[in-house]
Amino acid sequence: MGEMVDLGNEDNARGYLAVPDEGSGPGLLVIQEWWGLNPQMKGTADFLADNGFVALAPDLYHGELAGHDEMDKAGHLMTSLPAVQAADDMSAAIDFLLAHSAVASASIGVVGFCMGGMLTMMIAAGRGDAVSAAVPFYGYPTSDEPDWEPMSAVVRGHFSANDDFFPADGARDLETRLQQMGKDVQIKFHDAAHAFMNETNPFGSHDADLAGELWPEVIDFLQHQVS
């Protein structure tokens, strides 16, 4: 369904764009896991386009990928990704969507997984002018937090209650602090392990029943919040 597009920034970043059959819809940024912009993440963008969104997944690793049997490489790609570059590429993707003729919304939603969940929170804070809804899955900034004050997005996160990568206690603490700042942030903690939404099952933790329950909820939230 989708195609690779140039995002038009100085980093020469690209992304995978999927447009619904109807030809238009609200704009949605889809942020990759630490594996990179792989077929599963492109498939997620396609799935969201099937549900009415103009979905754009920026290639934050600029063509680099790690396989599910290459966790060391995935960790290296994630930790060596310059924060400034990631922020610039995501911001360019938002601007690309806002300027695209198929995008029928004046704001953008963001959904991301693992590393992408962390970056979903980061770009919601960094682009408070454009991001109206954010759905982070099992990922949040564990250090070098952004300035949360500009964040205007409504945040509905989904996290694992048993997560060795992004511990639930840290997510609860962040949720409390953001709520005390007056931010509309709610996080649900599920009795599932990390990466429970990933149907390719890289950690043996995919929960098909839970994913089937959450996707309609997430889609409904984004459809109502991104306008």
Q: Which of 89, 163, 190, 207 is catalytic?
A: 163
Measured distance CA(28)–CA(97) in Å, rounded: 8
- Of the candidates 106, 101, 137, 135, which has an alpha carbon nearest to the alpha carbon of residue 226? 106
Please, which residues have CB within 8 angstroms of residue 154's CB and are 6 or more apart in sequence?
132, 133, 134, 184, 185, 225
* Amino acid at residue number 158: H
Of 219, 35, 28, 43, the residue nearest 115 (C-alpha):
35
Active site residue 11: no
Q: Which of 59, 89, 190, 194 is catalytic?
A: 194
Q: Are the C-beta atoms of 157 and 186 separated by less than 8 Å?
A: yes
The continuous run of DSSP H or E covering 135 comes out as strand 131-137
Q: Which entry of 59, 89, 114, 190 is annotated as an active-site residue?
A: 114
Half-sphere exposure of 23 (CA within 13 A, CB side): 1
Catalytic residue check, 114 = yes
Task: Establish whether 224 is a catalytic residue.
Answer: no
CB 89 within 8 A of CB 61: no
Please give the Cα distance from 111 to 121 (Å, whole number).
Answer: 9
**How far apart are the C-alpha atoms of 83 and 185, rounded to whole Å?**
23
Tell me the catalytic residues. 114, 163, 194
